[in-house]
Structures are given as structure tokens and as C-alpha cells.
Structure 1
């Protein structure tokens, strides 16, 4: 349970159907979410922005385009409920992350303030299937990535319509990612088959190789149309419904034993996973992994984030663990997951 999505029986649809994810906005599909962020930042640099104000609780990959473009950066604290609390320098860009499927509680205020002294960038990658769109202004930008929500090889999108989207050299890395996911899909499809470490090592190494390539490719590489067609071919409504059902079952069976930084989701908020806090997180995670339940950590923090300045973010990073609840799993899987977590805690 958990880990990257395998791909089984992919469906290719008209690329126009991908507008379900982009909320009908014009934009461009690129290879990854970090490429989408890079395109936004590059556009803002052309408008005089040279500083990015970021949440102290974030993934290192978010900083890759900031470092690459040589932009100044500063960080702001987040509250216990993951609400943003920025104090942006004048003329900067503020990155707002919608964590775990929930619209950030600070979003309404920041959307109202954007354009006065700062630009707002909303990262909805963890809230892909939640209705993240607000009133679109020239001071607000959006980015998404579908890879953590469904069986697609690559993908990131931003609401910048590029006249010339760039090179189309992304096909080779997209094929590599597809191959790894097809192999994993075929392997896990045989649920009663033996564990084959060599097969698992192959696709895990392939996933890691894809990430390394993405960290070094140009953000001008667009997403090949055949991948956009795969994104469009996923039944995202079915994905959302399954995740909501699994969330309800998982919460009920955990019996309020854990503190959760996102304790409630609105009916329209579709979860990435269910984050819990545990004082013995690392031991619990190892024990779950021994039962082949793999729970990610969102996230180990980048070196640029000061533990002295942002102790709350570091405390969260050291205790948090995300329980998988995606559409690959049924109600009985959620019951079993909760039983394992409670037993091993």
C-alpha cells in the first residue's frame, strides 16, 4: 500500500478534457509542477520581481526553480492548522500552498490583498481535485501537478499561455516514467503473486532516475500531447469520490487517536492523503513498511529553512506522516490500515 502509481489499462482522451483539472483556465502543460512554478517566476521576473516569499513548511523541490533562477527568497511561518502567515516584502511574489487537499485558510485574505504590494502564486498540486480557482487577476497565478493523484507519467500546469511553449524534448523522460509505471502496474496487478525484490528495485530505481532528470532539465520542455491525453483519460470524478469515501472510513476507524493538522475537510475538498502526527513517527513508519504499508513524509525541510526561526515547521516535519487513502484502495483496505496504525502506535 502506498508509493508511486502504477499504470494499468491507460485511457487516452481528447486533450481538451484536461480542462476539468485546469478549471477551464488557459495555460500550458509542462513536464512537472516545478517547471510550472519556474515559468510563473520567469514571467514575474520580467515584471520586476526578484524576491519570493515562501512558507517555511515546504518541499525541497519547490526551491529548485527559485535557486535556478537566482531569486532572493525569504520564508514565513505557518500556523498549527497549516494556515499561511506571510509578511511579504513589497513587490515580491508570495507562494501559497494548499496542503493535503484543503484550501489554505489564509487564501481568502491573501487573494484580496494580491496586487496591492505583491503577486500571489497558488500551488494547488496537493489540492488538484478541490475547486481551487478563485477570481483570476493579473496578480494571481496557479500551478498544479496530477502525479500524486492518479496514474499519469508526468505533468505540471500553470495558467500562463505561452506563445511558443518551448522544446518538445520531454518525450524520452515521459516514456521512461511510463515504462516504470507500466511495470509496477503489471507487478501489483498480481495481488496473490510473490514479492520479487528485483522487479521492485527496477521500478523504484527508474522513478528515482526520472526525478534526477527532472531536476536538471530545462523548464521550457513542454508535456507531450500523448501524456496530456493520458491525463485527460483518467476518470477524475471517480478518483475524487473514492478518496472521499476512504477518508471518511479511515478517520472513523482511527478513533481520534491522533492529532491531525488538517482535522476536517469540507465536502468539496478532495484529500491527497490523511496526515497524522506521531511522536514516534519514524519507528511507526518503519514498522508499517515491514507490513508493506508505505507512508510518505510531507516533508523533510530544505536546508534554507532555519529550525531556530521556524520551530513549528520543524516540529511538524519531524512528526507528520501521510496515510494513503487513494482510489487504489477499498473500504476494507482503510479498515485494515487503521488497525495496523493503531496496533503499531
Structure 2
């Protein structure tokens, strides 16, 4: 008996999902990529183009499916280098193009038009894993690709979960919801982290345990991409979240930091915002900053000493050669992602700005 794809029924996003032709849950974003590749693999007999600025987890799925890849360039502001992409298409005649809406921001209008034109001759996979696909009634991303995907765990307090949007006649394989090791590690780690932060159990032992659980979860993913649907626990948690409120908080926090950089010369000396505008409908994942004068790692260390933890999106995989893509590597060396998620208020953003200035003075 053929099983129907696992879909979401969370009432807070039902209106959005009802507009979609077909969708299926996945446990992680990389699961979604692999699910898509498996659905079209029989039609692939050439190279797939990927952006030079990406994380290693994207590469993992193509490598597991033994699909040949090549890269196209990304500009200094993370916009897609359209001239280089077109050149790669002309030279390589790719079977597919994978592109990313970085930090929840859609590609520029001219890029969208070019991609829609390229869609006539090759597969397009649109990566929306960093937000803006399900938070708004009319999403600003996810409208270009034959397939698009997101990863709820990147921007919501869930141990796992994501979504693949299928705009084709191809059938996606059924993925059962399994409470795997990865999900259990993430779930237990989140419980312990909550105790650590909210109940003031400021114990180095407790901190070490939950950090080890998160690390163990990532090792599970890095070993092999899990082919499972979103866990029932995360589906239930999703039903209780107000995604619209989360989006508005993220937008407000982003604008607070952007305004501070606009008005504060010392912050301008520290770094340059990678994205200096906030279009309607965008639910930004973080506030991406390019730190000046090769001081990114020093600044990050100083912020950690103040209990401000800023991720790096991303350390580039070795397959992206620095000689061929120097700009992507330069961004990777300078980028720092300032936290702006829905847990934080305007007062928290003001505090973050103060901590940035203190850290800057100490480097």
C-alpha cells in the first residue's frame, strides 16, 4: 500500500500551506535536499551548480547521492553573481541549480527573472532554510524553484523539523516520523539548556552535558543524512507557536541593530552590516555583520566572555577553492551573526549594542 506524504496541519500556518500545491515534512533541511535529489535523480546526467557560499551540510547530500557539482560566485553582499552564473550555465550546461535565500532575504528582482528563465532548461532547488517561508501569509521566498525547502529548527524552538514544497508532478518518497537519536539528543539538550538559562542552575557540568548532546546530534547528521519525517513532538510544538509574532520580533530586533549601526560611528568602525535593508515579508534569521580589520575572531571571543554567543555562517567546505572564489572566503573570514531571534526584546538589543562596544574596546 502506498502511503501518502506526511503533511502539516498546524492551524497557525494552515492558511499558508493551503496555497501550496504539495508539501511534505522532513526531519532536517539536508533531509529535504536529499529527498528532492532522489526524486529527480534518474533525470540527472550532468553537473548541478551550487553557490560558492554555502555550508558543508548542503554538499553532504549531493555527495551521498553521487551527483557531480560545480560552483558559481556570490558577491560581497551575498547577492548572486548573475554574470558568473550565466557563464557557468553556458560552459557546463547544468542539469540543475541550487540557490539560497541567505538569512531569509529573497534574491534580487533581476536574479529572480534570470532564474525563472533558467528554470525552463534545468532543475531549480530553492533553499529557504533560514526563514521567511512560513511566517508570513504571503511568503517572499519559495516562489521560484521547482522545489523549495525550509528547516524549522534553524529559526524556531523545535528539536527538529522542516518542509519541502513540491511544484512538480514528481512524487516525493514517503518519510515516516521517527523519534531518532538525533531528535532525542536535540530534545534532551533543549530541556537542559532551558533549566540552565531560566532556572539559574549555572552549573558548568549541566552546560557541558547539554552542549555535548547538541554536538552528538550534529555528529549523527554528519555521519549520514536521516531520511525521516518531522517528529510528532515537533509537529505538536509547532501548533503552539505564533509564527507571526516571532517574525515581527525578529524584524524589530533587526531594525534596532541596523539603526544603531547607522547612528553610531564606533560601530561603523567595528564592522559593516552585510544587509542594510529589511524588505516587507522578510523574517531575518540573524543580523549578519562583516567585522573589519581581521578582528572577527577576537570580537567573537570577547562577546563569549560576556555570555553573548554569535554563530558563524559559515566556515566554507574545502571543495570551495580560495583561488577560484576569494570573495566567498573573505566573507567567511569576516562574517559574524548577531542574535536577533524572538526570545529577545528591544532592551536586549540595546544591551547587545553596549556589549559590542565594550568588546570592541577590548580588542
The answer to whether the superposition gives a TM-score over 0.5 is yes
CA distance in 1, matches of 2:94, 2:326: 27
In the TM superposition, residue 174 of structure 1 has moved relative to its aligned partner by 2.0
| Contact 1:29/1:228 (8 A) holds in 2 | no
In the TM superposition, residue 244 of structure 1 has moved relative to its aligned partner by 1.1
1:276 is aligned to 289
1:98 is aligned to 101
1:340 is aligned to 355
Query: Are positions 1:177 and 2:181 aligned together?
Result: no
After TM superposition, the structure 1 stretch with the greater mean CA deviation from structure 2, 248-257 or 25-34, is 248-257
2:236 is aligned to 229
- TM-score normalised by length of structure 2: 0.84
Match of 1:299 among 303, 309, 314: 314
- The structure-2 alpha-carbon separation of the partners of 1:310 and 1:133, relative to structure 1 and needing over 3 Å to count, comes to closer
| Contact 1:56/1:76 (8 A) holds in 2 | yes
| Contact 1:147/1:154 (8 A) holds in 2 | yes
CA distance in 2, matches of 1:23, 1:324: 31
Structure 2 counterparts to residues 1-345 of structure 1, below 5 A: 14-15=9-10, 17-19=12-14, 22=17, 24-25=19-20, 26-85=22-81, 86=85, 87-88=88-89, 89-105=92-108, 107-128=111-132, 129=135, 131-133=139-141, 135=143, 140-160=146-166, 164-190=173-199, 193=200, 195-217=202-224, 219-254=226-261, 255=264, 257=268, 258-278=271-291, 279=293, 280-345=295-360
1:3 is aligned to none
RMSD: 2.3
The one-character-per-residue Cα deviations of 1:296-343 (angstroms, maximum 9, x if unpaired) are 101000000000000000000000001001111111110111111123
After TM superposition, the structure 1 stretch with the greater mean CA deviation from structure 2, 24-33 or 289-298, is 24-33
After TM superposition, the structure 1 stretch with the greater mean CA deviation from structure 2, 112-121 or 154-163, is 154-163
2:3 is aligned to none
- TM-score normalised by length of structure 1: 0.88
In the TM superposition, residue 220 of structure 1 has moved relative to its aligned partner by 2.8
Task: Tell me the SS of whatever aligns to 1:274.
Answer: strand
| Contact 1:31/1:170 (8 A) holds in 2 | no
In the TM superposition, residue 144 of structure 1 has moved relative to its aligned partner by 0.3
After TM superposition, the structure 1 stretch with the greater mean CA deviation from structure 2, 318-327 or 334-343, is 334-343
The one-character-per-residue Cα deviations of 1:41-71 (angstroms, maximum 9, x if unpaired) are 1122122354221111111111110111111
| Contact 2:50/2:72 (8 A) holds in 1 | yes
- The structure-2 alpha-carbon separation of the partners of 1:124 and 1:151, relative to structure 1 and needing over 3 Å to count, comes to same
Q: Which has the higher contact order (CA 8 A, sep 6+)?
A: 1
CA distance in 2, matches of 1:71, 1:315: 27
| Contact 2:258/2:276 (8 A) holds in 1 | no
Structure with greater helix percent: 2
After TM superposition, the structure 1 stretch with the greater mean CA deviation from structure 2, 158-167 or 111-120, is 158-167
CA distance in 1, matches of 2:40, 2:232: 27
After TM superposition, the structure 1 stretch with the greater mean CA deviation from structure 2, 56-65 or 87-96, is 87-96
CA distance in 1, matches of 2:282, 2:30: 23
Q: Which runs of 5+ in 2 are unaligned?
A: 1-7
| Contact 1:30/1:219 (8 A) holds in 2 | no
CA distance in 2, matches of 1:223, 1:162: 18
In the TM superposition, residue 147 of structure 1 has moved relative to its aligned partner by 1.1
Task: Tell me the SS of whatever aligns to 1:125.
Answer: coil
After TM superposition, the structure 1 stretch with the greater mean CA deviation from structure 2, 16-25 or 65-74, is 16-25
How many residues are treated as equivalent by the alignment? 329
CA distance in 2, matches of 1:310, 1:20: 41
Q: What stretches of structure 1 move > 6 A for 4+ residues in a row?
A: none
Q: Which runs of 5+ in 1 are unaligned?
A: 1-12
CA distance in 2, matches of 1:80, 1:14: 40
